[in-house]
Amino acid sequence: MIIENSKDTNMPELQNGSKVAVIGGGPAGAFFSFFLIDLAKRMDLDVHVDIFEPRDFFKPGPRGCNMCAGIISESLIQTLATEGINLPPKVVQRGIDSYVLYTSTGKTQIKTTIDEKRIASVYRGAGPRDLTKAKWKSFDGHLLELAIGKGARHKKAKVAGVNWRKGRPEIKTNDGESDLYDLAVFAIGVNPANLKMIEELQLKYRPPKTAKSHIREFFLGQDRVNEYLGNNVHIFLLPIPGLEYAAVIPKGDYATMCLIGNGVDGDLVNSFISTLQARRCLPEEVDPKGSCRCSPFINMKAAVGAYSDRIVFIGDCGATRLFKDGIGAAYKTAKAAATTAVFQGISERDWNRTYLPTYRLIENDNKIGRVVFAVNGFIKSRKYVLGGLLRMVNGEQQRPDSPQRMSGVVWDTFTGSAMYRNIFKRTIHPSFLFRFSWNTVREISPIGRNQATKED
């Protein structure tokens, strides 16, 4: 049922019986549906939500998977718990309690600073292509089930096109069905191939800037995962041009390798796999081709014009956090959009008023994130500075009661557990700068280097 708005200003808003189309049932689409229905119920508003999602998240391999490294940040786990969204043990492939940082001059291990804080590694789909028996459950599948549990309807179809009819978005699926909605929410991720469907809407929307990344799964079996990786995420800060950072993550019977940067291609992947540091993380006999691989796009800069009357873009196709905690950003944009739709309205002016601030917060934080990663890029090819960093982390890890200045900065940068501006602020604190400079000077001086050898 389509109901005309009743606002004096003639602005569209959701009313009893309004229909909402959510295109894409990944984290952003599932979170949005979950919160929209929940908030609407609290306002005694009866809305119908259809989630269009063609993937079967319970099928192994790329067809059932929204490719990603699958690290759920500790801050997101805690926030979701306060929303009543808990990750059941079947969804968590592994609880992560430390990060091992590999550089060209050595490695160090950083343990989670607060014991209760745990990071989870998950599979977005059922698991890699060669999975024979599913022991775990898909993260995206779990979120979608939660949204369905709230009352959303899952339409297992791909949206082929969206156009305007009678001033409202009309959704056409590839199985030939079409329907009119009061609000269309795009949660379609960043694959440029998905954008054809919005051409007819003639929006001001300009998609996010993207880069290619790479994910590869290696079957090791549980025992060898324990032996080679343990409960640790292995992070690599190596001077390979075009590679921002790489990670190897333990998940069930597999190790997931993830490479992110502006120049990730086949050659870069091969040069990373052949580094001594990467080889140490995987048994020698493992086939470097892996059992499942993909090269998904990653959002490098937010979309422009992410909303208009009756339309909003959330998650990766809108704004997301640079390199880290994209699922956390999907949660933030989804909740901000759902709150706006229920409490403000669904016009461009409404999104501008209550959705845009969240969007801007993410994008402004990414500007600082770019500086943080530029500094990482500088450090990773400077032997002594890198040595100073490792020395400072090692010292802090040996004295867990002392301030964990560098450990905290490295931890939060790579786990995505804190905003970039918070991380940056800590790096310009005089105590941080003094300790870092002191440790770097000790690296340069032969006396300091000798002492370090004894201490380490």
Ligand X SMILES: Cc1cc2nc3c(=O)[nH]c(=O)nc-3n(C[C@H](O)[C@H](O)[C@H](O)COP(=O)(O)OP(=O)(O)OC[C@H]3O[C@@H](n4cnc5c(N)ncnc54)[C@H](O)[C@@H]3O)c2cc1C
Calculate the alpha carbon distances from 411 to 101, 161, 244, 272 in Å: 10, 43, 16, 22
Q: Does 24 bind ligand X (CB under 6 A)?
A: yes
Q: Does 128 bind ligand X (CB under 6 A)?
A: no
DSSP letters spanning 122-141: --SSS--TT--S--S--HHH
Shortest Å, Cβ 401 to ligand X: 31
Residue 164's DSSP bridge partners are 169
Q: Which of 36, 215, 257, 303 binds ligand X (CB under 6 A)?
A: 215
Q: How far apart are CA 219 and CA 129, in angstroms?
A: 11
Q: Does 316 bind ligand X (CB under 6 A)?
A: yes
Shortest Å, Cβ 82 to ligand X: 18
- Amino acid identity at 439: N
How crowded is residue 156: how many other Cβ atoms within 10 Å of its Cβ? 13
Q: Does 68 bind ligand X (CB under 6 A)?
A: yes
CA angle 207, 124, 97 (to 5 degrees): 110
Shortest Å, Cβ 29 to ligand X: 6
Q: Does 69 bind ligand X (CB under 6 A)?
A: yes
What is the b/e burial string over 231-252, where b = at least 16 CB atoms within 10 angstroms of the residue's CB?
A: bbbbbbbbebeebbbbbbbbbb
Q: Which range binds ligand X by CB under 6 A, 25-33, 226-234, 281-289, 365-373?
A: 25-33
Q: Find where tokens 């890890």 sit.
A: 397
Q: Does 23 bind ligand X (CB under 6 A)?
A: yes
Q: Which of 127, 189, 250, 387 binds ligand X (CB under 6 A)?
A: 189
Shortest Å, Cβ 325 to ligand X: 5
Shortest Å, Cβ 296 to ligand X: 4
Q: Does 74 bind ligand X (CB under 6 A)?
A: no
Q: What's the first-to-final CA gap in the chain, in angstroms? A: 70
- Check: CB of residue 365 under 8 Å from CB of residue 416: no
Q: How far apart are CA 244 and CA 233, in angstroms?
A: 16
Q: Does 395 bind ligand X (CB under 6 A)?
A: no
Q: Which range binds ligand X by CB under 6 A, 48-56, 201-209, 278-286, 446-454?
A: 48-56
Q: How far apart are CA 386 and CA 237, in angstroms?
A: 10
Residue closer to ligand X (CB basis): 122 or 386: 122
Shortest Å, Cβ 11 to ligand X: 27
Q: Does 159 bind ligand X (CB under 6 A)?
A: yes
- Check: CB of residue 270 under 8 Å from CB of residue 279: no
Q: Which of 79, 105, 194, 352 binds ligand X (CB under 6 A)?
A: 194
Measured in whole angstroms, the distance separating CA 364 from the mean position of its chain's CA atoms is 17
Q: Which of 18, 20, 60, 66 binds ligand X (CB under 6 A)?
A: 66
Shortest Å, Cβ 141 to ligand X: 10
Q: Does 330 bind ligand X (CB under 6 A)?
A: yes
- Check: CB of residue 95 under 8 Å from CB of residue 118: yes
- Check: CB of residue 203 under 8 Å from CB of residue 309: no
Q: Which range binds ligand X by CB under 6 A, 68-76, 102-110, 226-234, 391-399?
A: 68-76
Q: Which range binds ligand X by CB under 6 A, 185-193, 267-275, 398-406, 437-445?
A: 185-193
Q: Does 187 bind ligand X (CB under 6 A)?
A: yes
Q: Does 141 bind ligand X (CB under 6 A)?
A: no
Q: Which of 13, 21, 26, 141 binds ligand X (CB under 6 A)?
A: 26
DSSP letters spanning 370-398: HHHHHHHHHHTT-HHHHHHHHHHHHHHHH
Shortest Å, Cβ 67 to ligand X: 6
Q: Does 363 bind ligand X (CB under 6 A)?
A: no
Q: How far apart are CA 106 and CA 98, in angstroms?
A: 17
Residue closer to ligand X (CB basis): 417 or 439: 417
Residue closer to ligand X (CB basis): 318 or 448: 318
Choose among 411, 311, 328, 410: nearest CA to 365: 328
Q: Does 292 bind ligand X (CB under 6 A)?
A: no
Q: Does 123 bind ligand X (CB under 6 A)?
A: no
What is the b/e burial string over 186-221, where b = at least 16 CB atoms within 10 angstroms of the residue's CB?
A: bbbbbeeebeebbeebebebebbebbbbbbbbbbbe
Q: Does 293 bind ligand X (CB under 6 A)?
A: no
Q: Which range binds ligand X by CB under 6 A, 163-171, 326-334, 340-348, 352-360?
A: 326-334
Q: Which range binds ligand X by CB under 6 A, 2-10, 131-139, 312-320, 437-445?
A: 312-320
Q: How far apart are CA 304 and CA 300, in angstroms?
A: 13
Q: In what order do the strands lie in the sheet with 119-121?
A: 71-72, 119-121, 94-96
Shortest Å, Cβ 389 to ligand X: 23
Interacting residues with ligand X (CB under 6 A): 23-29, 52-55, 66, 68-71, 158-159, 187-189, 194, 197, 213, 215, 258, 260, 296, 298, 315-316, 320, 325-328, 330
